[in-house]
Amino acid sequence: MAQPNVEDVVKAIAADTDTPAEIVSKMYAETWDEYSDGARIMDYMAVLVAKRVRENLRSLRHNRH
């Protein structure tokens, strides 16, 4: 399975959540590290990581308001 380009994913999440790309990139990398630790199957890792980052950003935004 071809993995999406990380930069494209980060840009899309940043645009969708109105969050600076630098913050999204850091969150993506941290979440990737967390999820990949001990993972044996990486096929859907990018999808799962992107989903978690979006959820975390939405949660942070919701808590600020």
Cβ-Cβ contacts under 8 Å for 19 (sequence gap 6 or more): 13, 57
Q: What is the pLDDT of residues 16-63, one digit of tens each?
A: 999 999 999 999 999 999 999 999 998 999 999 999 999 999 998 888
- What's residue 4's pLDDT? 78
Which two structure tokens, joined as six digits, stand for 20? Answer: 């600076």
Domain layout of the chain by residue ranges: 6-64
